[in-house]
Amino acid sequence: MSNDSCGAPAGGVTISKDKSSKEAVIEGQVLRGGAPVSPGYARLLGTGDEFVAEVPLGEDGGFRFFAAPGEWTLRVLAPGQVRLEQEVTADIGQVTKVEFLV
């Protein structure tokens, strides 16, 4: 099976109920006019734009990262020169939800 993406599953890894209580999770969705944006990528960046992780957007425009607690930058890249960023805070045992509107 050919995979032209970064190797991560589209949208990110599925969260099990047990795992979500021990992890800091950042998840969200990218929408254009109420419709999901796909294809595209979500990137997780640390201090000074340090690249940490990237996942392709799911068919629903969704993405998910497991992160260390702290401050992060999310960057979304999609066709049509879409480049959006948002600062987020991740905490253990919490799911930080983010929505990007194109």
Render each residue's pLDDT in the chain as its tens digit; 102 residues. Answer: 334 445 566 766 555 555 556 889 999 999 999 999 989 999 999 999 999 999 999 999 999 999 999 999 999 999 989 999 999 999 999 999 999 998
**All structural domains of the chain with their residue ranges:** 17-101
Q: Please tell me the distance from the alpha carbon of residue 73 to that of residue 52, in angstroms, as a whole number.
A: 10
Structural domain 17-101, CATH architecture: Sandwich (2.60)
Instruction: Output the six-digit token pair for 101.
Output: 């509107």
Average pLDDT, the chain: 87
Placement of tokens 């690249």 in the chain: 51
Amino acid at 90: A
- pTM score, whole prediction: 0.78
Instruction: Provide the 3-class DSSP secondary structure of residue 4.
Output: coil
Q: In whole angstroms, how far apart are CA 96 and each of 31, 39, 62, 65, 68?
A: 17, 22, 13, 10, 12
Q: Please tell me the distance from the alpha carbon of residue 57 to that of residue 46, in angstroms, as a whole number.
A: 20
Reported residue count of the chain is 102
